[in-house]
Amino acid sequence: MEPLEATATGFYQTVCKSVWDYIDGLETRQGVNKYVRDEMFRLETFVMWHYQFGSKYESSFWDYVKTLPFRPDARFNKTLESCKSMTPLEMERKWQYDTNLSEDYYGQWTYPSFRCWYDGTKIEDTRGKGFGA
C-alpha cells in the first residue's frame, strides 16, 4: 500500500490548489476537471510502475498486480528517458533553475524520483517477460 499512501497527500494538494484556482477565477471548471483527471492518470501510471516492479515479496497480491496492464503514456516515457541520461547534478539544476517545471514533473514526481525508481527496477530488463498485459 505504500505508494498509495505516500502519493495521497500530494494528490490532495493538487486537487485543493485546482479548486482554489477555480474559486479565484484563474481556471475554468472544465480546465480543473481536465487537470485533475490528467493527474489521476499520472498517479495511476506511477503507482502501477511501483506495483509491476517494486516488491521483493512473493504473495497472491503481488502475483495479481503483476498481471494488471501497465500502459505508460508518452510523457512518462519521455520523463524516464530524460532522467536516464542526466547526472544527479543536472537533475538538481533543472529542478532548481528551470522556469517551466510543469514540463519536468510527471504528476508530483521529478526526474530524481524517476531516476531513483528506475535504478531500482531497470524497467527495460523486464519488458516482455510476462509483466502486464
In a domain, 36, yes or no: yes
The number of folded domains in the chain is 1
User: What is the grid cell recorded at 130?
Assistant: 510476462
In a domain, 130, yes or no: no
In a domain, 98, yes or no: yes
In a domain, 133, yes or no: no
Sole residue written with cell 502475483? 63
Terminus-to-terminus CA distance in the chain, angstroms? 22
Q: What is the pLDDT of residues 53-68, one digit of tens each?
A: 757 778 888 888 888 8
In a domain, 86, yes or no: yes
The range of the structural domain enclosing residue 119 comes to: 2-125
Instruction: State the pLDDT confidence band at 16, using cuts at 50, 70 and 90.
Output: very high
In a domain, 38, yes or no: yes
- Could you tell me the pTM of the whole model? 0.75
